[in-house]
Chain A
Amino acid sequence: MATKVTMEALSPTMEEGRLVKWLKNEGDPVAKGDVLAEVETDKAVMELTARGEGVLRARLVAEGDTRPVGELLAVIGAPDENIDALIKKAPAEAVTPSEPSSPPTEVPAASRRVEAAPAVTMASSSAASPPAAPAPPARPAPAPPPVPVAPAAPVAPPAATASGNGGGRARSSPLARRLASERGLDLGQLHGSGPGGRVIRRDIESAVAAAQAPAASAAAPSRTAPPAPRTSAPGDFEDIPLTQIRKTIARRLAESIGPVPTFYLTADFDLTSVRELRTRMIALGDEYKVSYNDILLKAIATALSQHPEVNAHWLGDSMRRHHRVHLGMAVAVEDGLITPIIADADRKRISEIARESRELAKRARERKLAPEEYTGATATVSNLGMFGIDEFTAIINPPEVAIFAVGAVADVPVVVDGALAVRTRVRITMSCDHRAVDGATGARFMQTLRRLIENPLMLVF
């Protein structure tokens, strides 16, 4: 009995995959569990394993081609078995994968993008898109800023990577570029339907239409019900039913500025003590060397553990307060960004956070993250300090309700006891989903964070 090999959903948000490489030839014997091919998903390169055994009878997709989830890629069967019927049933596209001029085989740049937060991107674009919006007060925020959270003095990635626009220019018409920039859309994320995969007006229009569909239908559900075992253990969280006032606040604010009504709290933090701590640790030897960011990650995680109302997910009809802190950290990768997760960050030592964040950032850039390594964050940190950004706002990754944007660590003049002094400081902006986090709630969180950062011994207490 022949077995169909189809494009499997190798990550929770995957809608299509690109067949990077076949690892078996037609005619090769195949055992259950054998790796048949490498498939690039929206997040990483994954292995496609055999679910049947026999001989790989037919490969129906050429290397480099993209196919939607569920489509027939190959057939495994007995050497003499007639598999014509199986192949014939496949859509025409799959049968003639080698036709070079047929558009479906053109891999749209979008499908290859590593995209940490499609939900956020789409939410922001839909928030910006109502055509009747009164004079736009602010341009729609760009896609979540790419942030290599990494060793203290990272080699700055190439400029192209740093700009939200990603590497590799997307082919597009001038009109499409204007429409996209107006709506805050990244052309590289769009499927181009023009000649040679060029992004044209109708692609922008259909992207806007898709974004206006219930906030990010593709990404949100998987986020709402993260497959990762970390957050699903009973007792790890508590679901809070919404009170009437909470429902009203949520509805009114969402009507006002978009599906995720966000406000921002910015504060300066004095790093004098953090600097002393770090200097002393470095003096102890290389194994104690950590970055400012590692210490800030630890501080934010600790503060989150003390403020479950911020360490939460907005689920639409309830809020889920997490008892464990899984901190996402935005990492810029070649053509986008992804947010790997430091699990139980509040319980980890700073040295562990340092090692883990370095390791995750490296694996993210190599696209070797497993899905469970980037799903299920309870809150996220984004850092553009190494680009010399003093402060910025980051876009919340739903269903999370807060994201922290960390600016550059710098020596600045400040007034201390009525006299000018030079102090090392950092500016952190907290983006809050107002449906879950009110102004005072967020402010109290920032107070806790200040106590921790300015008294770093509390982090090891």
Chain B
Amino acid sequence: MASFDVIFLGGGPAGYVGAIRAAQLGLTVGVIEREGLGGTCVLWGCIPAKALLESAAVAHRAREAKTFGVNVGEITTDYGVAMKRSRAVSTQNSKGVEFLFKKSKITWIKGTGTLTGKKTISVTDEKGAATTHDAKKGIVICTGSRVKGIPAIGLTLDKTNILSSDEVLIAEKAPATMAIVGAGAVGCEFADVFHEFGTKVTLLEALPTILPLEDADVAAELTKSFKKRGIDVVTGAKITAAKVGKGSVTISLAGPEKKELTVEKVLVAAGRAPVIDGIGLESQGVKLTDRGFIQIDDQMRTSAEGIYAIGDVAGPPMLAHKGEREGVVVAEVIAGKNEHRVNYGNIPNATYCHPEVASVGLTEQQVKEKKLDYKVGRYNFSASGRARTSGETEGFVKVIRDTKYGEILGAHIIGAHATELIHEIVVARENEFTVEEINLAIHAHPTLSEAIAEATLDSMGRALNA
């Protein structure tokens, strides 16, 4: 039995960042985590996936090396080695969080937690031994989310044929064929990885475009790029059934073409659901939204006094950086600081396939739906000197601005390093800079960032290099 000011239930990005911030503010902090610190992000998501994408990128570049005057001989790939490297990166990151905990004097309570009162939580460790801990100022639920599969159409996760990202992240080899169900960020990223490791990939998306949350122009550009590389992209795909055979899965699709598809593995990259079972939420009166997430207010408070929720379990967007910010806010709320609320309208999205996709703010479709008066500025990387030097001329920057005031309503980037470039716009929007201020800031030449300046200029009808 230990007593803390605040206990975080979950050691993912939301929980561990919140814990560190709470410790900075002088609170005593415990974090309950049954696996490793860092959560899905560090162990089963962002970090290992990006490590694999980097392997894919190296393979891709190596195949182009000859045209750069570099001969590397025959290119072969080994998924197992890439996987082991990615696991090592994850472990290293998780150890990094452990170090931060020690530095901040945060207690890691290993085990699975269940609420037993408004201020008490019982933790069962691996051996089944239970301890009870109490939190004087607040309990924060940050249990995250997991892929749940789509059993209704036969896509029940079985860890051998029908996989979630958890399994492919520890696979020893790339399959010969793979269908990826769901073309959101996860689906597109693994399509990229496995394609580069020699798998014949079919990317299936039920909605009319891949990356359905992104701007339609960007989705079209990525579709074009994937198809050019040889990734089979099927949008508007209606899966009616999936049958597991011996070492293969047969997927039935409605519609005139591609009635049946037989692949070695299926990766289900759709349908993440919050982890809410067995926590004791109901017993403490913590209400859920109609979509099954924990309902919170802008101070991360749930319907039960003293119980807070942050991260994926508290609702979309299910992004590590959204959870991290909520962690900071919840720590400050519990510590009695009257801090700035999360600006949910300015959370960047990033997809790390090649070309990369990043965005912030509204898409052109959303701007139209809101009937805003807007102008679009666009700049293609094919016109960028820097992009030509690196041979990465795919993609573009698209800036959507308000006609009257120049407010940046949204920005969409597809191309090399898009996920880094987007932050110029994120900072600008957070500070309410307009396209004028972006343009006034001098951009170094030659850089990819110039494309952002040019796109804002274009939105004002003043593009210089296009």
Chain A residues in contact with chain B, CB under 8 A? 101-104, 173-176, 178-179, 182, 195, 200-201
Contacts and interface: CB of A to CB of B under 8 A. Distances in A.
A198 B49 CA distance: 40
A101 B337 contact: yes
Given A173-B432, A175-B433, A201-B432, 11 more contacts: A101-B337, A174-B431, A174-B434, A175-B406, A175-B407, A178-B405, A178-B434, A182-B404, A182-B405, A200-B432, A201-B407
A101 B25 CA distance: 13
B279 to A, nearest CB: 31
B284 to A, nearest CB: 25
A175 B434 contact: yes
Given A178-B405, A178-B406, A102 B338 contact: yes
Contacts of B340: 195
A176 B340 CA distance: 18
Contacts of B431: 173-174
- Name A's interface SS: helix
B338 A174 contact: no
Interface in B433-447: 433-434, 436-437
Contacts of A173: 431-433
A174 B337 contact: no
A176 B404 CA distance: 13
Interface in B320-354: 337-338, 340
Contacts of A175: 405-407, 432-434
Contacts of B407: 175, 201
- Name B's interface SS: loop
B8 to A, nearest CB: 23
Interface of B: 337-338, 340, 404-407, 431-434, 436-437
Contacts of A103: 338
Contacts of A102: 337-338
13 contacts: A103-B338, A173-B432, A174-B431, A174-B434, A174-B436, A175-B406, A175-B407, A175-B433, A175-B434, A176-B432, A182-B404, A182-B405, A195-B340
Please indicate which of the listed interface residues A101, A104, A174, A201 has the most CB atoms of chain B within 10 Å of its own CB.
Answer: A174
A397 to B, nearest CB: 30
Contact of A179 (B337, B405, B433, B437): B405
A-B CB proximity, top 7 nearest: A173-B432, A175-B432, A178-B405, A102-B338, A175-B407, A174-B437, A174-B434
Nearest to A172: B432
Nearest to B404: A182
Contacts of A176: 432
Nearest to B440: A174
Contacts of B437: 174
Nearest to B437: A174
B345 to A, nearest CB: 11
A104 B338 contact: yes
B37 to A, nearest CB: 29
Nearest to A193: B340
Please indicate which of the listed interface residues A175, A195, A200 has the most CB atoms of chain B within 10 Å of its own CB.
Answer: A175
B384 to A, nearest CB: 26
A136 to B, nearest CB: 11
Nearest to B433: A174
Contacts of B436: 174
B212 to A, nearest CB: 29
A195 B427 CA distance: 14
A96 B29 CA distance: 24
A323 to B, nearest CB: 49
B405 to A, nearest CB: 5
B375 to A, nearest CB: 15
A195 B340 CA distance: 8
A220 B147 CA distance: 60
Nearest to B338: A102
Please indicate which of the listed interface residues B340, B431, B432 has the most CB atoms of chain A within 10 Å of its own CB.
Answer: B432
Nearest to A173: B432
A175 B361 CA distance: 16
Contacts of A200: 432
Nearest to B340: A195
A104 B338 CA distance: 9
Nearest to A181: B405
Contacts of B432: 173-176, 200-201
Nearest to B429: A175
A200 B430 CA distance: 10
Contacts of B404: 182
Nearest to A103: B338
Please indicate which of the listed interface residues B404, B405, B406, B437 has the most CB atoms of chain A within 10 Å of its own CB.
Answer: B405
A103 B437 CA distance: 27
A371 to B, nearest CB: 33
Nearest to B431: A173
A28 B432 CA distance: 49
Nearest to A178: B405
A66 to B, nearest CB: 15
Please indicate which of the listed interface residues A104, A178, A182 has the most CB atoms of chain B within 10 Å of its own CB.
Answer: A178
A138 B65 CA distance: 63
A190 B340 CA distance: 19
A200 B341 CA distance: 14
Contacts of A174: 431-434, 436-437
Contacts of A104: 338
A44 to B, nearest CB: 30
Contacts of B434: 174-175, 178
